[in-house]
Amino acid sequence: MNVVVIGLSHNSAPVELRERFAFTEAEIPGALKSLCESGVAAEAVIVSTCNRVEIYAVTALTSDAAVIELKKFLVTHHAFNDTLGDQLYSFAEPHSLHHLFKVACGLDSMVLGETEILGQLKDAYDLALQHGHTGARLNKVFQRAFHTAKHVRTHTNIQRGSVSVASVAVELAEKIFNSLGDREVLVLGAGDTSEKVARALLSRGAKNLIVASRTFERAQALAAALGGRAVQFENWAVEFGNIDIAISSTAAPHHILDRAKLEPLMKHRKNRPLLLIDIAVPRDIDPEVNFLENVYLYNVDDLQTIADDYLKLRREEIARCEAIIADKIKPLLEASRIQPQMDTDGHRLKTLPADA
C-alpha cells in the first residue's frame, strides 16, 4: 500500500484555478466516502485551503494508476471541463511523504515557515478520522508529520521572526515595552497599512486607540472599526503626553512631526519611551527626532529591511529542516519496506512502482 498525493497549490496554479477545485468543509466527508467506495483509496485525507487543494490517499493500485484515478475523481467532482497541465502535481512514496512533511512544516507555504497550515492540516486529518476514512497508514504518517513540524519549529529558526511590516512593528513594540497590555496607540492618517499595524497591535493587547485623519469621517470610521476614538487632526499633538506608540501614514507632502515640535512634547512624557512608526511616503516624521532621548523611530524601509532579513534567515534554515524531515521519514519508509529515494531534483510527479 502506497501513499499517493495529488493536488494543486499556490506554487503550481493561480487562484482562479485553485478556487475551482476547492472543497468546502461540508462536502469533504461525502467526497472522501465516494473516493473510498470507488476502490481508488483505502484511506484518504482531503486538504483544502486558500493556497492548496490536495488529496492524500493510501492505495493498492500502482502509483500511475492511482494518480490517473485521483485526477479523474478531482475533475469529475468539480465538473471541470478544461484541460489540466502542470498545474496539477502528484507524488508517490517516498516523495509523497516528503511533500506532506514539507507542507506541515510550512516549507511549501506562500509565507515560508508560517504555522497556519499545520492547523489546517490537523483539521483536515481530524475530519477524515472522524468519518472513518483514515487507517493505520495515514494515521501514522500524519501523526509523524505533525510531530516533525513541532520538532522543526522548536529546533530551527524557520518560523522565527515576522515577515510583514505590521508584524515587525508589533515585534519592535514588544522589544521596547514591558507589555502591550495597557499601551495607547495613536494612528495618524487612516491608510491601509496603518490600519493593519493598529490591528496587529490591538491583537497583541494594546488597549486604547486614537485615530486622527484630515478627513474626520474617515478617522471616525476607522476608530469605530477598531474600537478606538477619533480626534480632530489639528489636535493630535495634545495626545502625545499619554500615548506610547504612534503610527503615521498621512498623505502630507512634508514632515508633520519634527524635532522642534516633538522636543517640548517629550517633556510631558516623564521619560517614558515612545515608538514612532512612519509608514508614509513621503515621510511624515523627520528622521532627526530619532536622536531625542526615549524616542525610537522606524520608517517603512526600516521595517521592510527587518522583514526581508527575517525571510532570508528562514531561507537559510531550509536545509536544516529538510535534514530533519529526511530523518523523520526514514522509519516510515522502512516500515513500508520502501527504500528512501530522496534525490533532490524534481519532486514534481516522479511516479514510482507501487512496491518498489
* Closest CB to other proteins among residues 177, 216: 177
CB 175 to other proteins: min, Å? 5
DSSP-derived 3-state class of residue 336:
coil
Contacting other proteins within 38-97 (CB under 8 A):
none
User: How many residues touch other proteins (CB under 8 A)?
Assistant: 27
Q: Which of 31, 152, 172, 211 binds other proteins (CB under 8 A)?
A: 172
DSSP-derived 3-state class of residue 232:
strand
DSSP-derived 3-state class of residue 120:
helix
Check residue 304 for interaction with other proteins (CB under 8 A): no
Check residue 157 for interaction with other proteins (CB under 8 A): yes
Check residue 175 for interaction with other proteins (CB under 8 A): yes
Q: Which of 208, 296, 304, 342 binds other proteins (CB under 8 A)?
A: 296
Cβ partners under 8 Å of residue 310, min gap 6: 160, 161, 162, 163, 168
Check residue 288 for interaction with other proteins (CB under 8 A): no
Angle of the 165-176 helix axis to the 300-316 helix axis, nearest 10: 100
The piece of 36-44, 136-144, 166-174, 324-332 that touches other proteins (CB under 8 A) is: 166-174
Place of cell 495597557: 182
DSSP one-letter string for 290-312:
GGSTTEEEEEHHHHHHHHHHHHH
Check if the beta carbon of residue 91 is closer than 8 Å to that of residue 4.
yes
* Closest CB to other proteins among residues 147, 272: 272
Catalytic residue among 36, 50, 105, 321: 50
Check residue 24 for interaction with other proteins (CB under 8 A): no
Check residue 258 for interaction with other proteins (CB under 8 A): no
CB 171 to other proteins: min, Å? 5
CA distance 226 to 203: 10
Check residue 267 for interaction with other proteins (CB under 8 A): no
The piece of 22-30, 203-211, 221-229, 289-297 that touches other proteins (CB under 8 A) is: 289-297
Facing residues of 248 across strands?
188, 278
Check residue 270 for interaction with other proteins (CB under 8 A): yes
Told to judge if 50 belongs to the known catalytic residues of this protein, a careful annotator would answer yes
* Closest CB to other proteins among residues 175, 337: 175
Q: Which of 24, 81, 83, 271 binds other proteins (CB under 8 A)?
A: 271
The piece of 20-28, 60-68, 170-178, 246-254 that touches other proteins (CB under 8 A) is: 170-178
Check if the beta carbon of residue 153 is closer than 8 Å to that of residue 115.
yes
CB 163 to other proteins: min, Å? 12
* Closest CB to other proteins among residues 318, 349: 318
Task: Write b or e for each residue in 122-149: b if 16 or more Cβ atoms lie within 10 A of its Cβ, otherwise e.
Answer: eebbebbbeeebbeebbeebbebbeebb
Nearest CA-CA partner of 163 in 300, 310, 299: 310
DSSP-derived 3-state class of residue 230:
strand
CA distance 14 to 7: 13
CB 106 to other proteins: min, Å? 19
Task: Write b or e for each residue in 282-307: b if 16 or more Cβ atoms lie within 10 A of its Cβ, otherwise e.
Answer: ebbbbeebeebeebbbbbbebbeebb
CA dihedral angle for residue 258, residue 260, residue 265, residue 270, rounded to 10 degrees = 100
Check residue 309 for interaction with other proteins (CB under 8 A): yes
CB 290 to other proteins: min, Å? 7
Write out the residues near other proteins by the rule CB under 8 A: 157, 160-162, 168, 171-172, 174-178, 270-273, 290, 293-294, 296, 298, 302, 305-306, 309-310, 313
Q: Which residues are part of the catalytic machinery?
A: 50
